Amino acid sequence: MGNRLSGKTALVTGGGGGIGAATARLFWEEGAQVAIVDTDSEAARQAAEGIDPGGERVLAVAADLGDEAGAEHAVRETVARFGRLDVLANVAGVRVYGPVTEASLESWDFILRANLLAVSYCAKFTVPAMEKNGGGSIVNVSSVYGDRGRAGMAQYDATKGAVIALTRALACDHAAQNIRVNCVCPGATLTGFHIRRRAELKGITLEEAEAEIRAEDNKRILLRRQGEPREIAYSILFLACDESSYVTGTTLMVDGGLGV
């Protein structure tokens, strides 16, 4: 337990998922009051209960942040419960696989809403709340593939590249309000999503899928392993708290050396 965020309120989007839940937990351990926001209400509730069963410093909010009204609702609920908002961690995200020759208007709409518009809407409603406290910190989660090329996930990678550009634009627009905006680019990170996907694709159990991923010697990654959600959460914490007080508009690769 630490005090890097004591007295602060943080909103973590996608807090029902792997990296989001690890981030919410770490923020809470560092003294923050934490709102966990997710479309998956049950996942948000379980994450909140797992972190703080008493619920004193944690709140679960069900909202689709790809809708402007959902983002407004999440910010309003957070401020109503905790009285302020100092940190926004935009972790929520979805994946679409395949090249653009297989893309449709529906698949673009789905991924743009969750991966790009949600970041924009959450920032839109968070900035005025942060301004009331004299400033704050926004941390957006992109991907190493928002910066580097690969085959097979064109739509996802395009949205993640846009998040890096949006981070820089937000940093420029809101520096005068003492709001810092930075971006974390995770590499391959071992979350439930990837374990479930591997298990489904190969028709194996979740335990087998996790063991298989962990046993892989991935030569493209300098550290030869996937990251743990908590390793990504520590980089988000750094950018969220005052230890990074002179950092804004930057993109931090947290990828075990995948993108080098």
Ligand X SMILES: NC(=O)c1ccc[n+]([C@@H]2O[C@H](COP(=O)([O-])OP(=O)(O)OC[C@H]3O[C@@H](n4cnc5c(N)ncnc54)[C@H](O)[C@@H]3O)[C@@H](O)[C@H]2O)c1
Query: Does the protein bind ligand X through residue 38 (CB under 6 A)?
Result: yes
Query: Does the protein bind ligand X through residue 234 (CB under 6 A)?
Result: no
- What are residue 253's DSSP bridge partners? 185
Closest by Cα among 193, 191, 196 to 206: 196
- The binding track of 45-84 with respect to ligand X, each residue x by CB under 6 A or -, is -------------------xxx------------------
Residues with active-site annotation: 156
- The binding track of 87-126 with respect to ligand X, each residue x by CB under 6 A or -, is ----xxxx-------------------x---x--------
- Measuring CA to CA, how many Å separate 45 from each of 35, 40, 50, 58, 249? 11, 9, 9, 10, 32
DSSP-H helix ranges across 30-117: 41-51, 68-82, 105-112
Smallest distance, ligand X to C-beta of residue 215, A: 17
Smallest distance, ligand X to C-beta of residue 159, A: 8
Query: Does the protein bind ligand X through residue 19 (CB under 6 A)?
Result: yes
Burial class (CB in 10 A: 0-12, 13-18, 19+), 26: buried
Query: Does the protein bind ligand X through residue 18 (CB under 6 A)?
Result: yes
Query: Does the protein bind ligand X through residue 141 (CB under 6 A)?
Result: yes
Our CB check for ligand X shows the closer of 19 and 75 to be 19
Of residues 187 through 216, those in contact with ligand X by CB under 6 A are: 188-189, 191-194
Our CB check for ligand X shows the closer of 109 and 242 to be 109
Phi-psi region of 97 (alpha: psi -120 to 50; beta: other; left: phi over 0): beta
Smallest distance, ligand X to C-beta of residue 96, A: 11
Smallest distance, ligand X to C-beta of residue 167, A: 13
Beta strands in 63-172 (DSSP E): 87-90, 136-141
Query: Does the protein bind ligand X through residue 154 (CB under 6 A)?
Result: no
Using the structure block, give the residue that is written with the tokens 């944690």. 58
Residue nearest to ligand X (CB): 17
- Measuring CA to CA, how many Å separate 88 from each of 130, 184, 190, 202, 210? 9, 13, 23, 37, 30
Closest by Cα among 19, 227, 11 to 142: 19
Our CB check for ligand X shows the closer of 70 and 136 to be 70
CB 186 within 8 A of CB 227: yes
Query: Does the protein bind ligand X through residue 14 (CB under 6 A)?
Result: yes
d(CA 209, CA 194): 9
- Which residues are at the interface with ligand X (CB under 6 A)? 13-14, 16-20, 38-40, 43, 64-66, 91-94, 114, 118, 141, 143, 186, 188-189, 191-194
